Structure 1
């Protein structure tokens, strides 16, 4: 009895201590949130200022209203910035007489290639104002150099490093690990190129997948080389030779091959910025960060009745509400419906950045897009990835605009049913027995292999969804079903190829998509409104505090390996038939 009370007392003390620590943590988070609100106030911009553009921070689809994520509040991670706010801030600085130039800091950008393309184009437009752009870094990754190469002057630390070796796409495979633990992934799919299932069934790329990955990587690489060559006045052949032979091994090599303009320490770069701002050497010159600069919002004419709605569809596609990082079919459909009914909204831009997800959820969103298209123009703008279900939801739009290095297509369908019989029976010693009322009462059981009859039924379901998907694309793109089938089969395309084969209309950025929507609606003066409404941050934390805190600490503990954990968790939680490019190739 004494031992019993000892354990009870220990349990009670543990519960009290855990509750107390949770309360302290929660109070800290709320306090940090309240203090962060003040940081969103407008910022004074002095005359002769340099605009500091940090391109190492995550560039997300939409800026956060408040810095309300755990990384920021815990002081671990810097700001995040919405890409449209970023490019609008750069655009605004072109005509702002207080801004004398831009200073770029970039070593390892945290954004996709299409996003980097949009930012790079904004910087090119800024240069036309005659104001200089200075880029400096101790280390340039290839993505960082792609961005920095647009600058008037590109400087590298004399002991720094510039990486320039070509692109590599790496896909992770789990079959070996699954074999070891005794789990068989039973696959149903349509399309030889639907490679989302390969990590579970193969130990390396299939030949069809290798073909599409090769074409994708080389297409993106050619675009990068062309743009760097244009900015640096170096031929594409020379750049490819530099990369293929790994000629940039020392900082002096970067200077020798004209990849940088000079090797300088930061104090020397600051002296040059002193000159640009006409301030004395070793004196602080006025500087404003792009994150602060965009807080000074340009006043919009709220009396203008004409509006263009931007609807952000960002993340994996799921049923239900979703959140700011996932596309919930209910939330996005409601936003589209609201924009359709509002007579002051004359056109819609559907901004898609998604690898796909639930086929049913994709169909629900497609339906709202197709209904809206009958009432007002709908222009789809694709970001880094708009593949599989991400393409599905936009297939009914009036037109589709892409960046040349957008990853899109992947028109295919799959289903995965794990068979854990060997794991449960042989590895753990757990067995199952059952009684059922019908032959297929236990269809899709995870404790045994599928029967031929079950596979036939489920494959028919996959085929039906694929046929619907093909019909949606055929109707939306006004192409024959037979033609769409020749470019579908789950095959992934770059944006440039998508335009060539008719899956997209033209290469253009987000701003061009907005302008295109306004033209199609025959309006010249309008203001932008954004949907869906951002989630209330405190409510989101209270509803998902456990998940948010768990995710935060897992990311801190696992580091880069968190992506592996996330992929496995997402795969285990999926249900229903999927239109998904599950494993987006990592290109570095």
Structure 2
């Protein structure tokens, strides 16, 4: 009986903590964060890209546990605000070692250029460029900075663009599994990983074409920022890999040094008593820019797989999804809003179910 009462007491204690104490703590934190703290007079923003970056802020409250919590749209907006913020003097970027999503890298590069055009320096620091994924896109972001630093023990191995596919056709055949898919023409190769044991001719052709396009585009942009030609930069890069001193000698980077040295350098440029502020903290303090509401352009966003139905709260650390009913409703709301003159559908997705009904209606009205 004693154990029973102890168990009941434990359950009630847990319920009280969950229902009363935790909400009070969260409310206290929210109230504390609502008072907008001042940014130091000489601020260096530190944008750390090593933890990954999503395209858009997630509606999942637990999404921050699955990554850095930074979203590209927030970074671009935050950099735009920092351009005109007199307290922000410089930007320090921590680059990832592996490849970045090419579209993300391209948009970041443009935002960095706009920030630099306001007269503020940007130092990018790399702990090395590894031959993983679209690493040339990562190098392109670094090349867009005023100075590109690399750690003295790091290696420069940004030689090309790698991608791989896991084909299950042979395994299915061995165990008597027959995949049943419809395929629309030979270049629609999403099902090939289940039906084939290797790349088909059209599949390889398609993969090579888009990979070459991304690689060449990143090379051209990096060459422009490094004040050289794309063929010359390609020749040097593909003759690698290089050590940090060799990369410096080949003018692929500007400085060799530890991140602490890069921090000292960027703070010296920012002025006396300069302080480094995390970019996410700065963006949260500033908040998002809002317009007047008149003659507005509505931005409807979605990231992840497109699925039917409505979204819930999301799972712990789960990824993002585009729920068709929620997205279509947002498009319909924008259609009915007379102050909205145009609709931009910002999407980062590999595909999924139908969303065309909302988009079709918007296009019919001339908004999309």
Interval of TM-score (by shorter of Structure 1 and Structure 2):
0.7 to 0.9
Change (3 A) 1:24 1:269: farther
Counterpart CA distance in 2 for 1:307 and 1:276 is 39
CA deviations 1:167-209 (Å, max 9, x no partner) are 1121111123323332111232221111111111111110011
Change (3 A) 1:20 1:110: farther
Deviation (angstroms), 1:235:
2.5
Superposed CA RMSD in Å reads 3.1
Change (3 A) 1:377 1:164: same
**Match for residue 233 of structure 1 among 227, 238, 242:** 227
Q: Helix, strand or coil: the match of 1:53?
A: strand
* Residue 356 (structure 1) aligned with residue 346 (structure 2): no
**Match for residue 306 of structure 2 among 310, 313, 317:** 317
* Residue 265 (structure 1) aligned with residue 258 (structure 2): yes
Counterpart CA distance in 1 for 2:175 and 2:14 is 36
Change (3 A) 1:270 1:333: closer
* Residue 119 (structure 1) aligned with residue 112 (structure 2): no
**Match for residue 55 of structure 2 among 46, 61, 68:** 61
Q: Which residue is 1:251 aligned to? A: 244
Deviation (angstroms), 1:350:
1.0
Counterpart CA distance in 2 for 1:109 and 1:246 is 16
* Residue 99 (structure 1) aligned with residue 94 (structure 2): no
Q: Helix, strand or coil: the match of 2:348?
A: strand
**Match for residue 374 of structure 1 among 358, 364, 368:** 364
**Match for residue 137 of structure 1 among 113, 123, 126:** 126
Tell whether the 8 Å contact from 1:43 to 1:292 is kept in structure 2 after alignment. Answer: no
Tell whether the 8 Å contact from 1:154 to 1:261 is kept in structure 2 after alignment. Answer: yes
Counterpart CA distance in 2 for 1:288 and 1:48 is 10
Any gaps of 5 or more consecutive residues in structure 1?
1-11, 379-588
* Residue 183 (structure 1) aligned with residue 177 (structure 2): yes
Counterpart CA distance in 2 for 1:155 and 1:175 is 45
Q: Helix, strand or coil: the match of 1:170?
A: coil
CA deviations 1:263-300 (Å, max 9, x no partner) are 11233223312321222xxxx62222221222213664
* Residue 44 (structure 1) aligned with residue 33 (structure 2): no
Tell whether the 8 Å contact from 1:309 to 1:347 is kept in structure 2 after alignment. Answer: yes
Tell whether the 8 Å contact from 1:317 to 1:354 is kept in structure 2 after alignment. Answer: yes
Deviation (angstroms), 1:233:
1.9
CA deviations 1:513-562 (Å, max 9, x no partner) are xxxxxxxxxxxxxxxxxxxxxxxxxxxxxxxxxxxxxxxxxxxxxxxxxx
Any gaps of 5 or more consecutive residues in structure 2?
315-319
TM-score, with structure 2 as normaliser: 0.84
Post-superposition, which runs of at least 4 consecutive aligned residues in structure 1 deviate over 6 A? 19-32
Change (3 A) 1:23 1:177: farther
Deviation (angstroms), 1:22:
9.4
Between structure 1 and structure 2, the one with the greater Rg is 1
Q: Which residue is 2:338 aligned to? A: 343
Q: Helix, strand or coil: the match of 2:154?
A: strand
Change (3 A) 1:233 1:337: same
Counterpart CA distance in 1 for 2:299 and 2:181 is 37
Change (3 A) 1:157 1:99: same
Q: Helix, strand or coil: the match of 2:144?
A: coil
* Residue 161 (structure 1) aligned with residue 129 (structure 2): no
Change (3 A) 1:343 1:48: same
Q: Helix, strand or coil: the match of 1:238?
A: helix
Counterpart CA distance in 2 for 1:165 and 1:208 is 25
Tell whether the 8 Å contact from 2:156 to 2:241 is kept in structure 1 after alignment. Answer: no
Counterpart CA distance in 1 for 2:28 and 2:157 is 39
Q: Helix, strand or coil: the match of 1:140?
A: coil
Deviation (angstroms), 1:64:
4.6
Change (3 A) 1:60 1:30: farther
**Match for residue 297 of structure 1 among 287, 293, 307:** 287
Tell whether the 8 Å contact from 2:306 to 2:349 is kept in structure 1 after alignment. Answer: yes
Deviation (angstroms), 1:57:
3.2
Change (3 A) 1:367 1:68: closer
Change (3 A) 1:168 1:23: farther
Q: Helix, strand or coil: the match of 1:176?
A: helix
Q: How many residues align?
A: 348
CA deviations 1:488-508 (Å, max 9, x no partner) are xxxxxxxxxxxxxxxxxxxxx
Alignment of 1:157-556 (within 5 A): 157-248=151-242, 250-279=243-272, 285-295=274-284, 296-297=286-287, 300=290, 302=292, 304-322=293-311, 325-358=320-353, 362=354, 365-378=355-368
Change (3 A) 1:327 1:132: same
